[in-house]
Structure 1
Amino acid sequence: MTHAVSRLRAERLARSLKPFVARGSRAPRCERCRVIPSHCLCDWRPQVAARSAMCLVMHDVESLKPSNTGWLIADVIAETTAFVWQRTEVDPALPALLSDPQWQPYLVFPGEFVVPERVVSRVATESGRRPLFILLDATWSEARKMFRKSPYLEHLPVLSLQPEQLSRYTLRRSKRDDHFCTAEVAALCLELAGDVEASAALDAYLDVFTEHYLAAKFQRVIDTDDEPHRRLKTFMPA
């Protein structure tokens, strides 16, 4: 079963002039979950419903990185779209999605970089329109550039998250403790929108993905009865 990020990855690979090799590893990986086969994550994909939708605007090679967590969002949230960011060209489907009246789009970005008039801290639920969260999936420096150079996003309200907890994601770290991986941001957005079960499922899925990824990297045996796996099991299909 494919989803928006896996299709984006396939399109990006088709355009590549040479194979993409993840830093520090040449081991074969499962095409479905991007973890080496001995630590495959495919049997741990949760199934939950959500009213919210996600739109990932991804920097050029993000879909190719095994550690990318936008893939996890698309695994969990059925209505996830994904687009490659380009400074000079825009996929016409992206502005069409943003103008669809069924959605209330929110561009998720730190409020300190935005004029105060655009910043919101809550998700409106009374309008009848469903939340659509636009996430810039990139490194922090890349995301700032994408934010500045995407005029089709300039009219959108900016949802500024102020979570109290520090990031738990350990595969790729920002230099700032208040920056989160893309899946963490998505889980926080889902919680704000009232999609509490989907938020918890994505949060648990991220923890299990991280455990499988690091266990594969350091050649550790996975304990499928540990706390993250037990938590994720509550969102697995019967």
Structure 2
Amino acid sequence: MKIYLLTHERELHRPTNTGAIAITAGASLVRRVIWERKQPDVELKKLVATGSAALVYPAEESDPQPLDPTAFDNFILLDGTWQEARKIFNRTPYLKTAPRVSLQPESSSNYQLRRNQLQGGLCTAECVVELLRVKGYREVAGDIEARFYEFNRR
């Protein structure tokens, strides 16, 4: 299993970026890919083209029915502010063809370091934790969750 964080370049320098926690604690399972509109990542394009990776995206009424995350071994998470995530999605044609999965967390987000959070949305680290739990990687998920808890207390 692999989780790809498709990261907006501005996110790399923000002290509020939770993707770094997931990469540090889940190094063998989480990989960062810097989003480039004009030069999309070849590996991600191939994974989407073959149906081998699903895009983790909030369920909306206008979206097609999201698929079950247990059906996939590779996931793409958009890592940035909600506005940047929409920009990445809207300007990356291959993402529009990706199968979509939506997470059903047991509780709401605990992320407190940014304003303008999407109702019902999770930050990057929380999404990684949820995916890892769904796929049975509970120990790694617990480690990332503990690090996120400390990070979020700042």
Higher normalized contact order (CA 8 Å, seq sep 6+, divided by chain length): 2
Matched, 1:148 2:90: yes
For 1:1-238, list aligned pairs within 5 A.
52-77=1-26, 78-96=28-46, 98=47, 104-112=52-60, 115-117=63-65, 119-124=66-71, 131-211=73-153, 214=154
- Give the greater-gyration-radius structure (CA): 1
How many residue pairs get matched? Answer: 153
TM-score after normalising by structure 2: 0.85
C-alpha deviation, 1:122, in angstroms? 3.5
The residue identity in structure 1 corresponding to 2:41 is: D
Mark the CA change 1:100 to 1:195 in structure 2 (over 3 Å): closer, same or farther: farther
Unaligned ranges ≥5, structure 1: 1-51, 125-129, 215-238
Structure 2: give runs of 5+ residues left out of the alignment: none
CA RMSD of superposed structures (Å): 2.3
The percent identity for this pair of structures is 35
TM-score by length of 1: 0.58
CA shift in 2, pair 1:105/1:172, >3 Å: same
Question: 1:31 — aligned with what?
Answer: none
Bigger mean CA offset, 153-162 vs 64-73: 153-162
Please give the alpha-carbon distance, in whole angstroms, between the structure 1 residues aligned to 2:131 and 2:151: 20
How far did 1:145 drift?
Answer: 2.0
> What's the offset of the Cα at 1:114?
5.7
